[in-house]
Every structure is written in structure tokens, then in C-alpha cells.
Amino acid sequence: MPPADQPRNPPDAATIEAIARATIAGLPAEFRAHLGDVVLIVEDLADDETLDALGIAHPLDLTGLYHGRPVGEKSSMDSGGLPDRIHLYRRAILDEWIETGVDLNALVAHVTIHEIGHHFGLSDDDMHALEDSAGAA
């Protein structure tokens, strides 16, 4: 059950996306400048192909995923491929939200920044620092 000060109805994909976009807007400019071509996708659950590729047995165990090449590995010769994508999996996020009682905005921000961190090839420590700088911790 969500905390008393949070919504009682499960947030829809548009709500999760709005929180993620607000998180991105709160990032330092030097990070936002390199996110313009990254597509943000909110889906209910990861598909079986994705789960199988990652060796994850249950779809509620994956809250987010970055598809693409980290900024430092990109080349001017890259073309014709799909854009980099950040997937947020709504039902897995909501499951974690209910289980932990963490504020929904903080949880979505955490998952979003973690996936953005993969886009930049950041370490976990760097991701936490980015989260702190965005006021999402």
C-alpha cells in the first residue's frame, strides 16, 4: 500500500513519463545537452526477449533499461541505427514503490538517472552524484 500522502490509484504511463522528464529537466546542463536524441519510453513491462537477453526471470525485476552505446563509445561513423532509448517499466516501478514505500517521484528519478548514467558510461558512484546534483536523492 502506498504511503498515505501518495496517490491511491496506480499512476499511468503518462505520470511516470512526466516525473522522468522533470528529472531530466533538473539535471545539470552539461548532461541535458547530450540527451536530446535519447528517446524515453514508458512501458508496462519488459518483453520476454529483453528479459531473456538479460537473464531476468520475472518482469517485475526490471524497472528500467538503457539501449544504446554510451556517449564515450560513439563514433561519427555511427549512422542508420535506432536512437538510444531509455525504457522505464511502469509495473515494475510500481511494484517496488509499493514494496518499499519510497516516494514515487524519488523512485522514478532514481531509475531514470540510473539509465541516463548508462548512457554516459558512469559508475554507480557517479550515478549517485548525478542523482544528488539533480536533487533526486
Residues pairing with 67 in the sheet:
85
Residue 8 is predicted with a pLDDT of: 67
Residue 81 is predicted with a pLDDT of: 67
pLDDT along the chain (137 residues), means of 10: 61 95 90 85 96 95 88 58 88 95 94 87 71 63
Residue 15 is predicted with a pLDDT of: 95
Residue 99 is predicted with a pLDDT of: 94
Residue 6 is predicted with a pLDDT of: 54
Domain ranges of the chain: 13-70+82-133
The structural architecture, per CATH, of the domain 13-70+82-133 is 2-Layer Sandwich (3.30)
Q: How far is CA 107 from CA 15, 56, 80, 124, 129, in A?
A: 13, 21, 34, 16, 16
Residue 7 is predicted with a pLDDT of: 53
Are 39 and 85 within 8 A, CB to CB? yes
